[in-house]
Structure 1
Amino acid sequence: MTLHVLCVGGEDHALRIPFLAALRSRGFRVSAAGTGAALPFSNSGIEYHRYDFNRFGARVADRLAVGQLSQLVRGIRPDVVQTFDTKPNLLAPLAVRGAIPIVRTINGMGWVFSSAQLKALAFRPAYLALQRLAACWTSATVFQNKEDGDFFRRYRLLGNSPAVLIGSSGIDIDAFDTARAQAPSTAQLRTELGLGDDEVVMTVSRLTVQKGIPTLLDAAAIVREARPGVRFLLVGPRESEGPFAVDQALIDRYAPHVIALGARSDVPALLGIANVFAFPTEYREGIPRVLLEAGLAGVPIVATRMPGCGDVVVENCNGHLVPPRDPRALAAAILDLLQDPARAKSMGQRSIALVRREFDLNVVADRYADLYRKLILTGRRSEDPAVLSRDIHEDRRVSQHGGKSP
């Protein structure tokens, strides 16, 4: 019997196509539902269904999305529904209501759970209530880092569903290496971007306040005072970020030593010109994919001490961790790496082995495949969640030891 997994996400769901392809290679039938364009999925031979929701609010739109997802699930009848991102994690369980096993992956906690703004704090009780309601129809909740799992337990957001730790959505190492090998030379990229011989600090992120971009801009000014020959590259979308977007006028104020490139499809190549990768997020991240890409490229990292970042960056090993919203600390950490290139290069090299060992797409896909099969074959709805969670981890240990319990 071929098990059918429907994977539900948001507008950047195409980033998970390698994960979906890895599931397919393990014998699953895979389809996807998201709010973005269909072309990347059709190019990969993945059945795709578009639905609509507004990630900035809009209760009416959310109700319509629930209806669309309910109709979709009734029509294609998958064996398992897998969700990613804050709103799909809430909307899909409300749409399915226990008819089909749902696995929710908490890949970050979103603005409501990350921000200390009064508006976010005001929304938080409603979102906590929605999380508890969604948990009533959730078969398993996957966490990408331990801190998020602890948060859900503390606020009793799991219901009766077991918690499973699977770090990240995985990174396709072969595809990343191929993209790097086929990329233009670093000299060509430097010429294209007008960088000359300047040192480069790069970030890949949505250009929002919550991702720490204003803090990075302030840090850039501090770094430039000490080392004038440093350029900062901001890679990622701004216009699509609605009320959270950083004002373009603020970015322009720091030109020409700060360059906003917009969204790019050649991030593996761009990482080849970076001396330091900066990730100043104020979000509770899952496991940030961009940190895995920077690590795989061997670039030393400066990130904020937020959930998810510490799963990739180890202080004074492969980079630095600094407090969020602290431009002076961020600047000091960046300068520390720029001032000792040999040490910085050594630190960056340590990330390569870590990413290949812990976050390889094949490792992650195997863990999800184990979970899906366990849910189907054991009839999750009638099992004690503690037993299911224990069995999942036991199966993983057996497979890792050649079929024998350690």
Structure 2
Amino acid sequence: MVFCIISSYLPSVLNFRGKLLEAIHAQGFEIHILSPDLEQFAAEHKQLENFGYYVHAIPMQRTGTNPIADLKTLWAMRAIITKIKPDYVLAYTIKPVIYGTLAAWLAKVPQRFALITGLGYAFQNVEAEGGRSIFQKLVHGLYRQALVRSSKAFFQNPDDLALFKQLNLITQATPAVVVNGSGVNVSDFNVVPLPLDNTHQIRISFLLIARLLGDKGVREFAAAAAIIKQSNPEVEFNLVGWIDENPAAISQHELDHWVADKTINYWGKLSDVRPAIAESSIYVLPSYREGTPRTVLEAMAMGRAIITTDAPGCRETVVDGENGYLVPVKSVESLVEAMRKFIDDPELAEKMGQRSREIALTKYDVHEVNKHMMTEMGLI
């Protein structure tokens, strides 16, 4: 039996689907991976091949809407899929879901699954404003065509599923299942003590890990940092991530300004985020919308309190007042208020961090999430 996964970014196969593929491979499946830009990710490519997987290069522009380029992607994927003859195909993120699912359908793959890991730019402001741009209507139409040809669609939070139904992008003809994100391997993210200051008291430091996009709440994080620094200059604000090719990306000038003003400690892009989490006492993600944010789950597994938004995907990770606080999207004032609770009572960070670990263990363990998905796909 052959299982094929389609991704737009090879490192995410290891980071987000690695344990899933490992479990499927253990069931005796031959694993094939389709992804672009293999030459840029030689280490990941080699690691996946060392696991016994087959990795295939596909032409794909991660961003942009060039119809000729996207058709080239579709036909290239169809050719590879026709050759390897998979019994199951799983595609995730926007272009793999759209073009990968259509390619699998054209290649007559019996079981085709779509995993909606987040909505991103194509769904920005759709709920708030009601109207849709021409670009959004185009993308949504393509989603509809792909999902009607899917055997089943997985969503990482109930809000995304509800929006897809509201926009008529998924119908009753396609079964839909909500899973608890991508999960987190809790054994890889052990609880570590909170950082201490020179007097051996809990040192309050806030951390955000994200692609540096406006809709991740990076600007709100920096604005809140600037306000708090006026009265509490000792409080640290740490940022991990990188500027992505995306219409919503922050500018290099903005980032340089925050660093020069000593508002933000910028640690760049890290291959291992655990040291950053260990050096921080509270994790913050002021995102406008997520599937289920993996960085939040990792911070929870390491025993960190969470401040995140009362937004789809984010709100599922926090029981407000138990393992952290939920704040309104784009509200710098509310973000500052939540941060001040930890500054005024540092013991909250320890108490809420313990609760975060409990939630990570019971709800987000990667092995349980993967077992759920494999059962729904008929692999076990």
TM-score range, shorter chain: 0.7 to 0.9
Q: CA deviation at 1:55?
A: 2.8
Change (3 A) 1:359 1:41: farther
- CA offsets per residue over residues 41-66 of structure 1, 9 Å max, x none? 43241321222322321222211111
Give 1:4 shift.
Answer: 1.9
Q: What amino acid is aligned across from residue 113 of structure 2 in structure 1?
A: V
- The gaps in structure 2 that reach 5 residues or longer are none
Which shifted more, 295-304 or 18-27? 18-27
Flag structure 1 segments of 5+ consecutive residues without an equivalent.
191-196, 375-394, 396-406
Where does residue 365 of structure 1 map in the other structure? 370
**Partner amino acid, structure 2, of 1:364:** V
Count of paired positions: 360
Give the drift of 1:39.
Answer: 2.8
Q: State the Cα deviation string for residues 282-306 of structure 1 (Å, max 9, x = none).
A: 2x31111011001101111111111
Contact 2:216/2:287, CA 8 A, preserved across alignment: yes
> Matches of 2:132 and 2:218 in 1, distance apart?
19
Matched position secondary structure for 1:54: coil
Give 1:249's aligned residue.
253
Which shows bigger deviation, 42-51 or 114-123? 114-123
In structure 1, what is the equivalent of residue 89 of structure 2?
81
**Residue 264 (1) aligns with residue 292 (2):** no
In structure 2, which of residues 359, 366, 374 is the aligned counterpart of residue 354 of structure 1? 359
- State the alpha-carbon separation in 2 of the partners of residues 52 and 352 from structure 1: 41
Find the partner of 2:346 among 316, 319, 341.
341
By how many angstroms is 1:242 displaced? 4.1
Distance change >3 Å, CA 266–CA 368, structure 1 → 2 = same
- Judged with a 3 Å threshold, the aligned counterparts in structure 2 of structure 1 residues 200 and 293 are, in CA distance, closer, same or farther, namely same
* Matched-pair contact (CA < 8 Å) for 2:318–2:324: yes
The alignment's C-alpha RMSD in Å is 2.6
> How high is the sequence identity, in percent, across the aligned residues?
27
Alignment-derived partner of residue 403 in structure 1? none
Q: Once the 2 structures are TM-superposed, how far is the Cα of residue 344 of structure 1 from its aligned partner?
A: 2.1
Q: Deviations over 1:138-177 (max 9, x none)?
A: 1100111111111122222224110111111221222333
**Structure with higher helix content:** 1
TM-score by length of 2: 0.88
Residue deviations 1:8-51, cap 9 Å, x none?
11113332223222322343332222225253243241321222
User: Higher mean Cα deviation, 149-158 or 303-312?
Assistant: 149-158
**3-state SS of the aligned residue for 1:21?**
helix
Residue-by-residue CA offset, 1:43-96 (whole Å, 9 max, x unaligned): 241321222322321222211111111111111111110011122111112212
- 1:104 is aligned to 114
Structure 1 contact 233–260 (Cα < 8 Å) conserved: yes
For 1:13, the equivalent position in structure 2 comes to 13
Q: Is the 8 A contact 1:9 1:33 kept in 2?
A: yes
Q: TM-score if structure 1 supplies the norm length? A: 0.82
Amino acid at match of 1:204: I
* Corresponding residue of 1:70: 78
- How has the CA–CA distance of structure 1 residues 29 and 261 changed in structure 2, closer, same or farther, with 3 Å as cutoff? same
